[in-house]
Structure 1
Amino acid sequence: MPRRPRVSIPGYAEHIIQRGNNRQPTFACDEGIKAYAYWLCEYAEKFEVSIHA
């Protein structure tokens, strides 16, 4: 049985985790981490969301 969709209420914070398959590392090098952080900031501005941590 599939999981039910998550409820997302506008204006309320959501806890989101970035993790690899089977809890393996997501990034292989520092350049990957830097690129991810850049894109995260870029899209946070574009879609008007706040990143708290």
Structure 2
Amino acid sequence: MSRLPRVAPVGVTQHVIQRGNNRQVCFGGEDDMAAYIVWLKVTAAQRIKP
């Protein structure tokens, strides 16, 4: 069964947690983590636009 859509009101801060399956490592190295942070910032900036 799929999850219900999450409520994400515009302008409300979201708490994001990144975890791997069974708490495995998510990133292969610092470069992977840095790229992920850039993608989060880009996505957040897109959502803020009116």
Q: How many residues align?
A: 47
RMSD: 2.1
Q: TM-score scaled by structure 1?
A: 0.65
Q: TM-score scaled by structure 2?
A: 0.68
1:1-53 alignment runs, 5 A limit: 2=1, 5=4, 7-8=6-7, 10=9, 12-48=12-48
Shift of 1:35: 0.3
Q: Which has the higher contact order (CA 8 A, sep 6+)?
A: 2
Larger helix share, 1 or 2: 2
Seen in structure 2, the aligned counterparts of structure 1 residues 33 and 10 have a Cα distance that, compared at 3 Å, is same
Question: Mind listing any 5+ residue stretches in structure 2 that lack a counterpart?
Answer: none
Deviates further, 25-34 or 2-11: 2-11
